[in-house]
A and B are shown apart, each in its own frame.
Chain A
Amino acid sequence: MLFLVAGEARGEVLKLDEPLSFWGGVDPETGEIIDLRHPQSGMSVKGKILMMPFGRGSSSGSSVIAEGIRSGSGPSGIIMMEADEIIALGSIVADEIYGKAMPVVIVGKSEYESFTTGQQVVVSGSGLSLI
């Protein structure tokens, strides 16, 4: 396990069936998934530990991530299998300007597959654990 952006979080897992572009994919005010082609369209990322294998789409995603951290409508943490700089950057900048980071964690395939939607997870310096 590797922290792309360090931080602590807890929440319910929402495991995405497909990668999501935050810009054009998530409403920054409500956290709702607005990409109509996404299989989990209509669900909310707010407060969730969001899992997606890798990133996708527009580089404006960093702004939507930072806005979600500022307003509290974004995920509380993100778990991925591949590093994504667009997501990392949104969290780094929120940390710099508001002192609030959202942890972004990279895990191997077997650990990634061990989590499912609906589980309660804690992200801490020592790793990921189920509550």
Chain B
Amino acid sequence: MSVNLSESDQAYLNGEQGPAAASAMRVIVRLAEAMGASELLDVSSAHIDSCLYHGPAVLDFAKWLEDQGGKVKIPTTLNVSSLDLIHPDLYRGDSHWGEQARLLMDSYERMGCKPTWTCAPYQLEERPNFGDQVAWAESNAIVFANSVLGARTHRYGDFIDICAAICGRAPAAGLHLDQNRKGEILFRIKGINESLLDRDVFYPVLGHLVGKCTGSAIPVIQGLPNEVSEDRLKALGAAAASSGSVGMFHAVGITPEAPTLEEAFLGLTPREVIDVTIDKIISARDELSTVSDFKVGAVSLGTPHYSIQEIQKLSQLFDGRSVNPEIKFYVSTGRDVLTEASLRGLVEPLEKAGVIFVTDTCTYITPIIEDVARPVITDSAKWAYYAPGNLGVEVIFAAVEDCVTSAVSGSFSADNSIWMDG
């Protein structure tokens, strides 16, 4: 399968824009062939996931581009890395690994990427508009861009993100194209109490269930309240992109490409209909915890990075109380959000209450949590999904309200009444 390249693409490939652009274009064209794309298209921004250190290969790749003179051509933001540059003492990992991670971060900055260091680039001031073609990596950012913003990115992985940023081009395939954005599987919310639908904790659980049942298809969710906050949609999408390979979902009446059920499916019939009942929700919730131990060691919130609104809510939940000295309480967020939260006077009282803010990285991808021998409570389905494998830690998934109550008392407790009669 060959890709029809424009004159400009061909010029890139021939090295007329320099050797780095030629190498980047070669990777794009090879990926385009693998995706069955017939041509490339312009992308107006990029979000880079390749800046997280996983071993020598990722640094070799960045140096390969940088040494050839690689520079980004379009506005480009950076995802989380392995280090917290604002609170460097939080890093408890191997020092050589930390040094290599820093070299990787520096290389991407030198190539012209903005040092945003967040997995939630949609919380930054400048974000894509409806219909914009972009090249975003990081599974939760991809699903948010496609579903909530109505921007268009395929489910990109590491490496291609920086190549697209250098060339301003990406394969015209996958979720970039109308016909690949239609819903395929219908999830109908059935008989679930309105008060549960109005809880933050419902959304990551729903996402976990949807991702597990969806695989790589596009799910359409029907029956949610008319107003669902961006934070809830963020949690839903991040969970679905962890338990499945969801790159986009539609929520009827909520997300921009699904004003009606018919429009979500482009007039076609769903290939499968799944009823989301309270029993399925409860069993999805229970899957997210590995233990129900009462002797917890830490709480970790902010996967994906906490927003201003979430930090505000946290501050209300603490209501002057403090974290028990036996517990560490981590909140991961972007440095821009932390700055804004600080200006609003939210940070200092929370820090006094014992909250440890983590920026530029996240507690499940790098060694930050002091005690991984005791279970960690989280409000994030994504954290609950990945942390046991990454950190070897036991996890308890809970509502943020329960996270705070447990952290204050020093032992895990949850308000199970919210799950009762549906």
Contacts and interface: CB of A to CB of B under 8 A. Distances in A.
Interface stretch (A7-15, A43-51, A52-60, A113-121): A52-60
Interface residues of A, number: 44
B217 to A, nearest CB: 10
B54 to A, nearest CB: 4
B215 interface: yes
Contacts of A94: 57
B288 to A, nearest CB: 10
A20 B264 CA distance: 29
Contacts of B30: 92
Interface stretch (B186-194, B196-204, B385-393): B385-393
A36 B27 CA distance: 33
Contacts of B156: 59, 85
B55 interface: yes
Contacts of B57: 63, 66-67, 69-71, 93-94, 97
Contact of A90 (B49, B55, B56, B157): B157
Contacts of B55: 28-29, 63, 67, 70-71
Nearest to A58: B139
Interface in A14-28: 19, 21, 23-25, 28
Interface string B315-326: 000000000000
B388 A36 contact: yes
A85 B60 contact: no
Given A5-B34, A59-B158, A66-B61, A35 B245 contact: no
Given A59-B157, A93-B27, A54 B216 contact: yes
B36 A63 contact: no
Contact of A70 (B31, B60, B139, B215): B60
Nearest to A66: B57
Nearest to B288: A37
Given A28-B54, A35-B389, A92 B157 contact: no
Residue of B23, B142, B158, B385 contacting most chain A CB atoms (<10 Å) = B158
B183 to A, nearest CB: 18
Contacts of A57: 139, 241-242, 245
A63 B58 contact: yes
Contacts of A71: 55-57
A82 B155 CA distance: 14
A57 B388 CA distance: 15
A98 B63 CA distance: 13
B155 A24 contact: no
A86 B155 contact: yes
Interface in A57-98: 57-64, 66-67, 69-71, 82-86, 88-90, 92-94, 96-98
B27 A92 contact: yes
B36 A89 contact: no
Contacts of A34: 389-390
B389 A89 contact: no
B35 interface: yes
Contacts of A92: 27, 30-31, 34, 159
B298 interface: no
B34 A88 contact: yes
Contact of A89 (B160, B242, B245, B390): B160
Given A54-B216, A67-B55, A97-B64, A62 B158 contact: yes
B50 interface: yes
A4 interface: yes
A122 B255 CA distance: 47
B159 A89 contact: yes
B389 A36 contact: yes
Given A36-B389, A89-B157, A97-B61, A59 B290 contact: no
Nearest to B394: A36
A28 B287 CA distance: 26
Interface in B185-238: 215-216
B216 A24 contact: no
Contacts of B114: none
Contacts of A63: 50, 52, 54-55, 57-58, 157-159
Contacts of B242: 21, 57-58
Interface of A: 4-5, 19, 21, 23-25, 28-29, 34-37, 54-64, 66-67, 69-71, 82-86, 88-90, 92-94, 96-98, 104
Given A63-B158, A90-B157, A93-B27, 12 more contacts: A4-B34, A24-B385, A24-B389, A37-B388, A54-B215, A61-B158, A67-B56, A70-B57, A85-B31, A85-B174, A86-B157, A93-B61
